[in-house]
Amino acid sequence: MSDSSLPSQLPGTSDDDDLSELNKNLERLTEDIEQMSVQLTWMAYDVVALRTSPELAAAMSDLEEAYHGCREAVCGDVHRETHADNCPDTAATTLAQI
């Protein structure tokens, strides 16, 4: 009869490990859902901003073109290597990042 109590203790230890793993998985899933929620909120904000003011997309495009024109005027031809050292990389500076 003392042998029958031994098997009951082994699954208990396994249950604790299973619960610990389950808690870790639930925590990870909760963090993933929170990140998706934040991304979805920003996407919804962008859609609302564009639908509220459809001219915004055109204005942003015009502003980006003006930026590139000013950059060429200040830095010269951005494809030449001599002036590229004096000006920041255009790929690193875009209106989408602002």
The domain limits of the chain are 53-98
Q: What is the pLDDT at residue 78? A: 59
Rg (CA), the chain: 29
Interaxial angle between packed helices 55-75 and 2-52, expressed in degrees from 0 to 180 and rounded to the nearest 10:
80
Q: What is the pLDDT at residue 29? A: 95
> What residue type is 34 in one-letter code?
E
CB within 8 A of 64, min separation 6: which ones?
94, 95
**DSSP 3-state of 93:** coil
Q: What is the pLDDT at residue 21? A: 94
Express each pLDDT in 5-38 by its tens digit: 545 545 556 888 999 999 999 999 999 999 999 9
Express each pLDDT in 51-97 by its tens digit: 777 777 788 789 999 999 998 888 877 555 444 455 655 544 454 54
Q: Is the pTM of this model over 0.85?
A: no
Asked if pLDDT for residue 98 goes beyond 50, the answer is no
